[in-house]
A and B are shown apart, each in its own frame.
Chain A
Amino acid sequence: QTGGLDVSDLPQDAQMLLTADNLIYDNDQSTITAAGGVQIEYAGNNLVADRVVYDRATSRVVARGRVQIIEKDGNKIYADEIDVTDDFRDGFVNALRVETVDKTYFAAESAERSGGRLTTFNNGVYTACEPCRDKPGKPPIWQIKAQKIIWNGESKTVRFERSRFEFFGMPIAYLPYLEVADPTVKRKTGFLIPSASYNDELGFGVSVPYYLALSPTYDLTVTGTYYTNQGFLGEAEWRQRFDNGQYSVKIAGIKQQDPEAWSPNTVNGSEDGRGMIGSKGQFRVNPRWTFGWDVLAQTDKNFSRTYGIDGFSDTVQTSQLYLTGLDDRNFFDLRAYHFDVQEDVLDSSPSARDDQQPWVLPTFDYSYTPDMSVAGGELNLDINVQNIYRDQLSLNKVNGINPNDTSRIDGMDGLASRMTAEAEWKRSFVTSGGLVVTPLLQARGDAIYTDYDATTVNGITSFELNGTPVGSDMRSSYYRYMATAGLEARWPILFSTTSASHVLEPVAQIFVRPDAPYQDKLGIPNEDAQSLVFDATTLFERDKFSGYDRIEGGTRANVGIRYSGSFANGWTAQGLFGQSYQIAGANPYAAPDLVNVGAYSGLETDVSDFVGMIGFASPGGFAFSAGARFDEETFDVRRTDLKTAATVGAVTGSLQYAYIEAQPLYGFETDRQEVTGVARIKFDENWSGFASGTYDIESETVVKNDYGFSYGDECFIYSMTYSRSENRVTKETDHSFGFRVSLRTIGDFGTSSGDFGSSF
């Protein structure tokens, strides 16, 4: 529909209803004069005025005195006098204001409307800001004053001629000609707002996007960007939507004019013709199943990140193809991965990571829990298939007692696949005294096939731990099993007073198992169990490894006590403390591992470290939680994670502290200790500010801090961001500054990094 009085498509037999205090029907001049609160309703358009003269001969309707027209599409027009044809198609208006259904406002000394389509405002003003109720004279934040504003219902555009842009009433830009889409239109072909950017190597860049709304379900956006140093970058994105999903395809390419802008031995510096093609898609087959993809292929590993290709510019761009199903208690996920680490160092450099990332074709997880109980207990069936291919060995020497005499292979070169099936049965019995006893049975079988490249075989056979060779058992296939008989006992005790209630739940678990096969010699790859953090949530896990590649064997007991408190005033508290004991068999966390995963984990000693956590939260938004691991003899803190968040008045803040003692064999020679603070302040309904900082205590550098503030109301958003990061080793800092101005219905300008919403 169009702006202004559009009645062209009226039903032919529409009748006009006119009510008034008094009506004069002059037959000779054939005019009808209505006076006193005149209301006219005609095909959905309503007109209200003090006096209306309707000349039936010329079929003109002249309304005077507080005239207000509400069109069928909701636009409201206020004027002193209106002269319009009786089908509202043509006419002119003096001293009018228009308020469209999308809350945009026109005002003008006069306006003409012709053919029911074209409304021309003379000496008009356009803004999307609400007029200030109590101070009507006060200029809105922004407005566009123009000698002529043409609102074309046919082409659905609003054109300003000889206009000037005013900000808080001060003219700041003179625009001889500006055309924007009609505010009531949702999609329209045309130029989008250009954006600017600056970067040392790329130079100053201006990008102009052109949008083609080809159909309500698919569109194409073509963007041209010219960089002063590197030349012209072309981008095109096709998007299509269906009723059960959507997909998009994006291509981009450039012929770099000045690769020397980057330092010589970098990826960016050694390329000239560069490009990418990427696609994302997601479809919901039915309420339980979805499949989708997010794939990227590019000429070199750092193109999309360097040129900020939207949607493909992450530091680690994970390409994947997946089919996922989830219902009630069962889960199915079949997924293929490829990882593109968009780093600028060449593959030959030691710190390069990209070429050592695997192809995962596929990883498959299926977990099934039958609804019916089996022998009175719950049966869980889990299947995992993992098929990894890598064409570059990732081996490095880490310093143990003396440097370079401990190896670490976190990525074998060649092919390795594993199929695992695991079943677990458990049932709880509650005695009359409230003791909960849970017997558990578990069985698992793995089939592992390896086809290593010679360098990997050599790396494994010559693997050293603190200078002593570890020994390997290289086979092309391994078959291993695990069977567990477990028992868990808990006795939760409830202490309740009138104002609070506390539960203390002592828990003891024992798992009797054989040792995990092939655990004392290297050979089986470790791809999905490379991380091991022993904390309160790991204590009562039956298998504390984080993946299927390693199995926890031997007889182990976990003992601890869990606390939960809830108070009448809404506060809640929780806690847990405990320890784990390797009672019989070999301690799997002391066993050799290609990534030394057990080293310094706290589980490598038969009597493990102590682990604990406490947490409390108030209904008012304050929360504190702390987790820690203490040495079993000296009670020194080996690792701790603190986190607190609070809302005090207009300020919401959060603080996070982490301390992790050095784990050299595991890849971290020094302690890691950092604190991060975030504060968000809402000054008033429109103004808000943001500040965040990360301070590395070990190297006493503020690694990263960001500040930002933003003003936002119904028609205008301004945000400014400043972020600074410093490398803790080289102390070299770099700053980035962003701003974003957004005028509702006109467009937004500024750098993407300045987008307040996304970065905070």
Chain B
Amino acid sequence: QDSQSRLTGLQLSGDKPIQIESERLEVREEDNVAVFSGNVSVVQGPTLLKAGRMKVYYLQDGGSAATGSANIDRLEVDGNVYVKSENQVATGDSATFDMKTEVLVLSGKEVVLSEGENVIVGCRLTVQMKNGQAELDGCKDTKAGGRVKMLLTPGSQNRQ
């Protein structure tokens, strides 16, 4: 492991092939929407996303959702979202991913992001895919009083 355990981050970039599987698929051409439901799993390179249901919104620029050739505008996923990348796992209730801004927002009663023994718990995880910056906010309403918790092993220990 190199000196920094870099968070390779949840890289769902727009230009690599995405393989999506689900039990059912419903396409609504007029709304440019494709709805995958039932054990949806999305794989792109090392990143895996699993959820109960995923709606894919396509851009209006002519491509058809059915053939998958259209460009994806954004994804909306809900029903126990599970995102796994190289060494990080994030879970939450629902998530949205905007292809243009490459911002993934994972939210829910308890959003958990873990990397090795380091664990972060909060309510809204906003990940900037471009620079790998992840911001976690607490849940304003719950009794935890909007607090974010993080358990990590200090870097210096590994270095000794």
Contact = CB atoms under 8 A, between A and B. Distances in A.
Q: Does chain A touch chain B in the assembled complex, meaning CB atoms less than 8 Å apart?
A: yes
Interface of A: 12-28, 30, 32, 34, 37, 42, 56-57, 59, 85-87, 89
Interface string B133-156: 111111000000011111111111
Interface string B65-102: 00000000000000000000000000000000000000
A19 B131 contact: no
B16 interface: no
The 10 closest A-B pairs by CB, nearest first: A27-B132, A27-B7, A86-B154, A59-B155, A59-B156, A25-B134, A18-B150, A23-B136, A30-B4, A56-B155
B120 A25 contact: yes
Contacts, number: 98
Contact of B153 (A15, A24, A32, A37): A15
A28 B138 contact: no
Contact of A23 (B4, B9, B150, B153): B150
Given A86-B155, A87-B154, A28 B149 contact: no
A270 to B, nearest CB: 73
A17 B150 contact: yes
A22 B151 contact: no
B156 A17 contact: no
Contacts of A12: 157
B3 interface: yes
Contact of A26 (B8, B132, B155): B132
Contacts of B117: 15
Contacts of B136: 22-25
Contacts of A27: 6-9, 131-134
B155 A23 contact: no
A26 B154 contact: no
B160 to A, nearest CB: 8
Contacts of B134: 24-27
Nearest to A33: B135
A19 to B, nearest CB: 5
Interface size class of B (residues with CB under 8 A): 20 to 34
A19 B7 contact: no
B150 A19 contact: yes
A56 B135 contact: no
A278 to B, nearest CB: 55
A22 B138 contact: yes
Nearest to A25: B134
A27 B147 CA distance: 21
Given A24-B133, A26-B132, A57 B3 contact: yes
A113 to B, nearest CB: 14
A509 to B, nearest CB: 82
A15 B148 contact: no
A34 B138 CA distance: 11
B147 A19 contact: yes
Contacts of A85: 156
A14 B157 CA distance: 9
Nearest to A88: B154
A21 B152 contact: no
B126 to A, nearest CB: 9
A26 B133 contact: yes
Contacts of A16: 151-154
Nearest to B153: A15
Given A17-B150, A56-B4, A57-B3, A24 B156 contact: no
Contacts of B120: 23, 25
- Among B120, B149, B153, B154, max chain A CB count under 10 A is at B154
A20 B148 contact: yes
Contact of B149 (A19, A42, A89): A19
Interface string B1-30: 001111111000000000000000000000
B42 to A, nearest CB: 21
B74 to A, nearest CB: 22
A262 B9 CA distance: 93
Interface in B107-137: 113, 117, 120, 122, 131-137
B155 to A, nearest CB: 4
Contacts of B147: 19-21, 37
B151 A28 contact: no
Given A28-B133, A59-B154, A23 B6 contact: no
5 contacts: A15-B152, A17-B149, A18-B152, A34-B148, A59-B159
